[in-house]
Structure 1
């Protein structure tokens, strides 16, 4: 199964979580998931992909 979310390094050296289907940064509850340290971005992208996978399996 294709993972919906990925991380991209910014020119400043921080990381953004990107929706791989749209190419846009992810926004959760009004907060853009951008400019994060790698550890935080990596953890969040794992959680988002897990949630997305579960939602797609339920349909």
Structure 2
């Protein structure tokens, strides 16, 4: 199964979480998941992909 979310490095050296299906930054509870340190972005993208995988398996 294709992972829906990935991280992308910004020119400033921070990281954004991107929806690979749309190419846009992810917004979670009204907060764009952008300009994060790599550790935070990596942890969040793992959680988002896990949640997405569970939701797609349930349908």
TM-score normalised to the size of structure 2? 1.00
How much is the aligned-residue C-alpha RMSD, in angstroms?
A: 0.1
Flag as ranges the 4+ runs of structure 1 deviating above 4 A.
none
- Gapped regions of structure 2 (runs ≥ 5): none
Render the CA deviation track for 1:12-59: whole Å, top value 9, x for unaligned: 000000000000000000000000000000000000000000000000
**What number of residue pairs does the alignment pair up?**
59
- Gapped regions of structure 1 (runs ≥ 5): none
TM-score normalised to the size of structure 1? 1.00
